[in-house]
Structures are given as structure tokens and as C-alpha cells.
Structure 1
Amino acid sequence: MLNKVIGFAAIGLALGMALPAEAGTLKLAHSTWVGYGPFYIARDKGFFKDEGVDVDLTVMEDTPAKMGALQAGQVDLVASTVDEFPIYMPPGKTLRYIMAVDNSKGGDGIVARKDIKSITDLKGKKVAFETGSVSQFFFNAILKQAGMSENDVEVVNMTATDAGVAFVAGQVDAAVTWEPALSQGANSANGHLLLSSADKPGLITDVVAVTPETAATHQADLKAFVRAWYRALEFIKTNPDEANQIMASGVGGWLADPVVFKQTLAGIEYLDKSANQTFFGSSAAPGQISKTLGYALDIWSEKGRIQAKIKPDDLIDYGFVGG
């Protein structure tokens, strides 16, 4: 889920190399993450085809290339966190969020020294996280809620794993990271869990986005895609062991072992139809997605990551979560 922000030059490269998507088939790109496992259940159990759509699944770890391919039509859908998409939108280009995938419920968080009891206690302290990442977004959103900003702490830029290691070694006062580094830091001699994503539901949520053109011309296909996702989640409830085998094999990489997949799964929750409808809300009464996206647009704009002025409603399409 975490990817380093590289910049718009890489997007331009991806745009130049992009090829058109195959007619009649939707192509979905995602990184190696436990949240994307149900896509493989929908594929392997035939739910996509049953609902009337063919979906090709591709693992793409390079975020700028993945986002550039989406804009160029090389892929039709991309799964990533709510906050990440706006960073990679070229001037004059927007996207449409059509469905929420999973919500972090403790898999991400902040570990701190035991004498640091609250977010405000972090003032003047060394806090490690990767700049340009979802960890930075999460931390900044928490700071905003506490009436603080990054200027109130000493930022130490390093990957999530390295941040956890540095914290356990006593090199920093706190770290924004995820599992397993999160538990390692919380269980270290001088550390504890200050706050996790379970305390702030909806801030770290994966969604699926498409271009406005795809949303307009493939409405039936995208609704079929959403219905197949919901069916996959029902399959997980009734066949958890088989589901974990399918998902681990499909996602692969560091999650290829079903045991590791199951352990990692404990840090998230998949979002079914009811949860999607609550998370999205409606144009008249927007849900949490609008708040989370609002935080993202504010935070990344302040840091010069977003080139255009955008409002949450410019990116949210409320018409697909009903399936």
C-alpha cells in the first residue's frame, strides 16, 4: 500500500509508454496488499464473468507508472488509498472513485516512548515516517485533528520498516508505521502503541478509481465489477480457509503464504455493500470518504504535491456502490 512519491516526470514516461486496454475486458492494477485478495476470488470463482464482465488483474508496484497507465488507458481501474490518487493527477485530469475496498483497522499506527501519552506530547520530538506516503498523510490528518502540524515535530524521513527499527533502537521518539513493525515497536521495552488506524476509521482506506471516460462509457461493466466484489466477500465469510488460499496465491509476493496472508488480514476489514454505502454516502449527504479526501487534498496541497484545485465531489462517484 505504501509507495514513495516520485513525481510527475515518471507519470509522463508511463503515459508515453501506455497501450490501449483490450476491448471488452477491464484491466485492474494494484500493488501487493492483503486488501486486494478478494479480486482474485471474484476472478477464480467466476463471479466477474457471472456478473457480465471480464477483469484482468495485474500487480504493479510502481505507483507513478500505475497512475500514468490509468490516465492513458493502459489499465482501466487502479486500487490504492484514498489520499494517493490526487498526487498523481496531471493538470486538467481527474478521476472517479467508484468503490471502497478495505479499511485499516489497526494495521497502521503510531508507536511512541512510554512517557508520550498523547499526540500533543509529540511536540518537539523526533518522529520517523516516509514522506510522501500514506503514513505521512495519516500522521498529518491526526495532527490536524489535534490542532498541530508537522512544524511541531522533528521529522525523520525513512521507510515504514526502517522507522520501526529506528524506534526500537531508541533513535527516534516515535514512528508512524504498520505491521509487523507496529507491534514490534509497541512491544519493545520502552515503547507503546500511541494510536492506531482502529482509532481513526476511514482515514486509511483503499478504493478503486477510474477515469471519467471509463465511468461514463463502462457503467454496466463497473457495476458488474462491484457486484462481483460483494459476492467475493460473501464467499470469504462462508469459506475462509479456501478464500485465504485463493487470495494468497493470487496476490502473491510476500503474502503468498496463506498463513502470512491470514495474519496480515487481521489488520484490515473488507468493505461490503452496506459499508460502501455508508462510507460513500450520497451527493446530498457525503460519507467519510469526502472527509478523508478533504484531508488529503488539504495536506498534499499544502506540501505542493497537487497541481490543480480540486474538491472531494470532483472525484467521488456515488453511482456505483449500489452494484
Structure 2
Amino acid sequence: MKRRTFLAGTILAGATLMSTLLPAVGGIATASAASLTKVTFIQEWPVADGFWIPWILGKEKGFYAQEGIDLDIVAPPTVADTMKFLGTGRANVAFTTVMDIIFAKEQGAPVEAIGRYGNGNNWGIISQQGKTYTVADLKGKSVGIYNDAWTKAQLALMLKSAGLTLNDVQMVTAADDTVPLLLQKRVDVITGITNAEGTEMTTTGKQKPEFLPAIAHGVPNTPIFMLAGNQDWLKANPELAKAFMRATVKSMAYAVNHPDEGVQAFATAYSKAYDPVYIKQQWADTVPLLKPADSKSLAQEAATWQSLLTAIKAEGIVKDPLPADQYFTNQYLP
């Protein structure tokens, strides 16, 4: 899942982003740095985005340090490197996508999901304000897409619900952002998620986009983003993994309940190298997807995974998926 790169000209090529972030004034007192255990947390995107606000704020508030963790938030050199870092043990845990986990497992990488981020699949078809479409209406229309397997699979499943195929639409591939295609009227609709492309339509396009949800038209309701762990590290450090998840659940709940603090923590971490209007709106669009932010909301179900695996196998994305329960575990949740 690609999204708008809103830090113009800023590529943090594998740099450790948070090692110099100081605790906020009034933050919770924490143990000395020497007594903390470093946990390397690789992200899904080379440039910081609003999805990271819970752990940015949680680190600032001292929630990870309270659990004995020195959280090292790291950006990958490219979007393709997140699972490489996790699978090879260069990172202990990751913020990633459900499809990246599936593809990594297909390659034999020792990774598994340890918690979901969001309560469902918020991907779909986005159009300009006032221009609504049904799936059947898409026949003959131009659709801005990203050139990844899951985007095409979701679109194929949606079209199938109306008796259409990918050949019934004109797909226009975006290099890194579908939104300009729509705003410049180069396509009729685009694919995307509510808290990325949808957010950009609001902030850049100055309009409320129309949204046709994929889950209402044959696409599994599987959260797009996941927290994942290196299985070797998890087995060797079960208590540390549980501590990481306790701090993360606490951080997510606090960030959801204190959105302004979350946005401010992001601003503190990244100074002026970000789009404040976009981040504020993106977090506002993300918060409803995380509620209620508690341990139960991060728990995963085999049935949900199975629906996704069945769909992608039918589309030929994965030839021989593993049993659903081999992709995830809930044992580290508080």
C-alpha cells in the first residue's frame, strides 16, 4: 500500500529517527537509559507519517521506558526493506502491512503478526466530492491505481461483485500518489484508503471525497496494517515482547484520547520537516479506525485471516498459503 510522501524532498535512508528525542516536559519519570533494553522497531515507510503517532507519543510520555524498553524507531531505506530488516533480525518488531507479512512468510521469513492496527479494511474507491459511483458505474471508467498485487486484487474483487473484470476499466498507474491524478481530472476515480488518499483529498483538494468501501463489495474486512515480530526474537524474549505490546496498547489508547498531544509529539520529533495540516487531518481520520484502543482491539482472528488468504489464493497472488494461524499470534497481547 503506497501513500502520499508528504515530507517533500526528505528521504530518511534507514536512519534511526527517534534516538535523540527528549522526554516531554511533565512526562512520566523513567528508568535510566543504561537500565533499558533496546528494541528496534522498523516502520513501513521511508518517511515518517501520522500512523506512527502512538509510539512517538508513547516514547515521549515514557510508556516504553516504564516497561524497561529503549524504543528505537527506524525508517527503512525503501518500502521493500521493512520485512528484510525484520526477517533477518536487524529489527525486532515492525509496523507493516498484512500483505507484506504474507509475502514474507511465503519466502520462509521468520515473521508473524502480533497485533492489528485498525479495526478493518478502509480501502476503496475514492472520487471527487459530489461524484458518486456504484461498482457497476465503473465500467469504462479510468481508475488511478498503485502497481502492487493487492491493490489490483482488491479492485478485481470489487469489480467481480458487479460482474466486471479489470479489463472493463482503464487502469492508470501512479508512481507514488494517486490523488493528483484525480484532482487534475486525469482519471474518474482512484484507489486508496480513507486516512491517506482520503486525507489528502481533504487537505490538498479542499473537498470531502466520496468513498465506495471495498468491504461492501466482496473484499475481506482485514486490517491493512499490522504490528509484527521476528519469531526468533519473540521466542527468545517473550517477556520483552509482552512489555512492548503493553506499552504499545497504552500508547495507542493515550494517543486516541489525546489527539492534539499526538500531533504535537509528531511536530516535536520532526520539527518543520512535515505538513502540519496533513498530519493533523490524517490523525483525525485514523483515530476512529483504532477505537476502542485496547488489547482486545489489537487481537486477531483466524477467520479474518482465512478470508483474506482464500481471496488472494483465488486471485493467484499466493499459490499455496499456510494455515491461517501460522501468520499471527495473540500471545504477547496484555
TM-score tier after normalising by the smaller chain length: 0.7 to 0.9
The sequence identity of aligned pairs, in percent, is: 19
SS of alignment partner, residue 171 of structure 1: coil
Aligned amino acid, residue 322 of structure 2: I
Distance 2:107 2:231 in 1: 15
- The match for 2:324 is 312
Change (3 A) 1:105 1:237: same
- The match for 1:175 is 190
SS of alignment partner, residue 83 of structure 1: helix
Match of 1:43 among 59, 69, 80: 59
Aligned amino acid, residue 195 of structure 1: L
- The match for 2:86 is 70
Distance 1:3 1:94 in 2: 27
Match of 2:113 among 91, 97, 102: 97
Greater helix content: 1
Q: Which is worse superposed, 68-77 or 41-50? A: 41-50
Distance 2:237 2:162 in 1: 42
- The match for 1:142 is 158
Q: CA RMSD in A?
A: 3.7
Q: Which is worse superposed, 235-244 or 179-188? A: 179-188
Matches within 5 A, 1:247-286: 247-250=266-269, 255=274, 257=276, 259-268=277-286, 269-270=289-290, 271-277=293-299, 280-281=300-301, 286=302
State whether structure 2 residue 178 is matched by structure 1 residue 166.
no
Q: Which runs of 5+ in 1 are unaligned?
A: 5-13, 15-22
Q: Which runs of 5+ in 2 are unaligned?
A: 5-13, 15-35
SS of alignment partner, residue 318 of structure 1: coil
Aligned amino acid, residue 226 of structure 2: V
Does the 8 A contact of 1:82 with 1:292 survive in 2? no
Q: CA deviation at 1:204?
A: 4.5
Match of 2:100 among 84, 106, 123: 84
- The match for 1:242 is 261
- The match for 2:210 is 193
Matches within 5 A, 1:109-128: 109-111=125-127, 117-128=133-144
Does the 8 A contact of 2:113 with 2:228 survive in 1? yes
SS of alignment partner, residue 70 of structure 1: helix
Does the 8 A contact of 2:38 with 2:71 survive in 1? yes
Distance 1:34 1:316 in 2: 25
State whether structure 2 residue 37 is matched by structure 1 residue 29.
no
Does the 8 A contact of 1:104 with 1:267 survive in 2? no
- The match for 1:8 is none
Q: Which is worse superposed, 290-299 or 310-319? A: 290-299
Does the 8 A contact of 2:220 with 2:307 survive in 1? no
1:92-124 residue CA offsets vs partner (Å, 9 max, x unmatched): 335210012235786864227977631122123
State whether structure 2 residue 236 is matched by structure 1 residue 214.
no
Does the 8 A contact of 1:107 with 1:196 survive in 2? yes
1:241-279 residue CA offsets vs partner (Å, 9 max, x unmatched): 33321134336786463x5322111222334323123xx
Does the 8 A contact of 1:3 with 1:63 survive in 2? no
1:193-243 residue CA offsets vs partner (Å, 9 max, x unmatched): 241479689444311112321232221111111110121133335544333
Does the 8 A contact of 2:55 with 2:252 survive in 1? no
Distance 2:270 2:99 in 1: 22
Distance 1:153 1:28 in 2: 40
- The match for 2:243 is 224
SS of alignment partner, residue 267 of structure 1: helix
Aligned amino acid, residue 273 of structure 1: S
Distance 2:109 2:281 in 1: 38
Does the 8 A contact of 1:94 with 1:211 survive in 2? yes
Does the 8 A contact of 1:42 with 1:229 survive in 2? yes
Q: How many residues align?
A: 290
Q: Which is worse superposed, 152-161 or 208-217? A: 152-161
Distance 2:111 2:233 in 1: 9
- The match for 1:17 is none
Distance 2:221 2:71 in 1: 27
SS of alignment partner, residue 331 of structure 2: coil
